Amino acid sequence: MPRRLRILVADDNRDSADTLGILLRESGYTVCVAHGGDHAVHAAGAFGPDVAILDLAMPQMDGFKTAEELRRSFSGAVYVAYTGLTSSDLRAKCETAGFKYLLRKPAELDEIESILRMVATDRYRSSA
């Protein structure tokens, strides 16, 4: 049986970050909520995320820079872009930056859990 994923949620919108954190905890995941990119990088050191769900439009350190910083220590983590931004080249930009998944705000919990199940399945297969 695979262990539960450790999920880092980073969003400068406190309500959004806290609500997603609560929902994921209620689904049985271990969650660390950060209210900004710099906070996410700092918190990740002790937390050791398997998955990082990062808002792209955070001030000071956006989701792209946050992912870049996190990847230095957590290259094996799966990065999920979480954004309300829209542009024709956003998916390509996210892929280039190393995000495996792109979630548009507001995302449904079912959609998020579907991604987390895929991540867990991939990790279980690679460790078996």
Q: What is the pLDDT of residue 87?
A: 87
- For position 128, what pLDDT does the model report? 61
Range of the domain at 93: 6-127
CATH of residue 62's domain is 3.40.50.2300
Phi, psi of 38 (to 5 degrees): -65, -40
State pLDDT tens for residues 106-123.
899 999 999 999 999 887
* pLDDT score of 126 more than 80: no
Average pLDDT, integer, range 97-114: 94
Mean pLDDT of 18-41: 96
Structural domain includes residue 83: yes
Amino acid 108 reads E
User: Greatest CA span in the chain, whole angstroms?
Assistant: 40
* Residue predicted with more confidence, 2 or 34: 34
Q: In this predicted structure, what is the pLDDT of residue 86?
A: 84
Instruction: Say what the pLDDT of residue 125 is.
Output: 79
Within-domain flag for 1:
no
The residue-averaged pLDDT of 33-61 equals: 97
Structural domain includes residue 86: yes
Model confidence pLDDT, tens digit, residues 6-17: 999 999 999 999
Q: How many domains does the chain have?
A: 1
Give the pLDDT confidence of 49-87 residue by residue, as tens digits.
999 999 999 999 999 999 999 999 999 999 999 999 888
